[in-house]
């Protein structure tokens, strides 16, 4: 862990990304305290007011404060990212573990299921499912999670295929350890590093998916604020209310970029070969 921390600390872009991720999480958690106005309170006297000292990010078509809606929208976007990725990781780890450890026909069946899910474009699959369900934040979380587990399953399966042939696993099996104990105590903990990276990189993808669905009007329903439906509202007033499109767009850009930088930094720090190569390059540059 010490080597991991040192490797991560040397990656300045990862530190910047991680710092922004922490700040965004704090802003989302403290939204009820930090929001200067009720995000759903209309004011007909302040319709489409530009940014000012009273409303820092302006107001929308109903006179609602955009800054307050952005702060509350961050809660929704980050919640969708974390919960949906958690669902995807849980399903992927379970199926990948079973496929990698059991092998044979079980492995073939799970991998064919993965291939079948990958055949369908994810956006079209999401749209097809949401056409039969009432859009809500919980529906969006579950649907994104149920359509995003395939990559994790393949990662875990690959790790299991490699780890189950290692000496410590073979020794555990030789002394009579059950299959569940071998998987739970010896293989799974050593297979979680790539899952952690995949989850970190999956959060911005989930946020982008939710924002895209909300922009299309198929995501979280108004008046619940999300960055996507603020963008959707802004497209109808792009010529006179530019701030409705610029600010949520910048928020999505910064969030996705920060998570990607942080995830890439974690991946580099967890890869011992890359860490050693970076150490040799730094030693030569001194």
Quick one: pLDDT at residue 278? 39
For the chain, state the CA radius of gyration.
23
Domain of 246, in residue numbers: 10-38+55-285
Per residue in 29-74, pLDDT (tens digit) is 999 999 999 999 898 888 888 999 889 999 998 899 999 999 999 9
- Domain tally, the chain: 1
* Domain-embedded: residue 4: no
Spatial distance between the Cα atoms of 48 and 62, rounded to a whole number of angstroms? 8
Quick one: pLDDT at residue 112? 92
Quick one: pLDDT at residue 179? 67
* Domain-embedded: residue 48: no
Spatial distance between the Cα atoms of 95 and 259, rounded to a whole number of angstroms? 26
Quick one: pLDDT at residue 95? 93
Quick one: pLDDT at residue 165? 77
CB 20 within 8 Å of CB 254: yes
Residues 6+ apart with CB under 8 A from 237: 48, 60, 61, 244
* Domain-embedded: residue 102: yes
Quick one: pLDDT at residue 283? 44
| 65 strand-pairing partners | 59
Quick one: pLDDT at residue 272? 53
* Domain-embedded: residue 120: yes
Query: Using CA atoms in the order 180, 181, 182, 187, what is the torsion angle rounded to 10 degrees?
Result: 90
Quick one: pLDDT at residue 84? 93
CB 87 within 8 Å of CB 142: yes
* Domain-embedded: residue 1: no
* Domain-embedded: residue 103: yes
* Domain-embedded: residue 142: yes
Q: Low-confidence residues of the chain, pLDDT below 70? A: 1-2, 173, 179, 271-286
Q: For position 227, which CATH number holds?
A: 1.10.3720.10
pTM: 0.84
């Amino acid at each position: 862990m010490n080597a991991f921390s040192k490797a991560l600390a040397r990656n300045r872009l990862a530190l910047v990304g991680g710092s922004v991720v922490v700040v965004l999480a704090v802003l989302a958690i403290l939204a009820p305290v930090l929001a200067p106005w009720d995000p759903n309170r209309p004011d007909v006297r302040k319709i489409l007011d530009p940014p000012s000292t009273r409303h820092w990010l302006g107001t929308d078509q109903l006179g609602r404060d955009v800054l307050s809606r952005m702060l509350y929208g961050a809660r929704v976007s980050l919640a969708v990212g974390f919960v949906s990725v958690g669902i995807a990781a849980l399903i992927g780890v379970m199926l990948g573990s079973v496929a990698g450890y059991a092998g044979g026909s079980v492995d073939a069946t799970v991998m064919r299921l993965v291939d079948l899910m990958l055949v369908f474009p994810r956006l079209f699959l999401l749209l097809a499912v949401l056409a039969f369900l009432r859009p809500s934040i919980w529906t969006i979380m579950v649907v994104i999670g149920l359509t995003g587990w395939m990559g994790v399953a393949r990662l875990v399966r690959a790790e299991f295929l490699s780890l189950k042939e290692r000496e410590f696993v073979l020794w555990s099996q030789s002394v009579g350890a059950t299959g569940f104990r071998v998987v739970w105590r010896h293989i799974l903990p050593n297979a979680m590093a790539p899952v952690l990276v995949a989850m970190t990189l999956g959060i911005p993808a989930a946020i982008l998916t939710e924002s895209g669905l909300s922009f299309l009007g198929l995501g979280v329903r108004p008046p619940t604020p999300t960055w996507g439906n603020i963008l959707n509202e802004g497209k109808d007033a792009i010529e006179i209310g530019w701030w409705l499109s610029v600010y949520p767009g910048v928020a999505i850009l910064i969030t996705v970029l920060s998570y990607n930088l942080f995830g890439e930094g974690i991946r580099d720090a967890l890869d011992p070969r890359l860490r050693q190569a970076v150490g040799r390059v730094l030693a030569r540059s001194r």
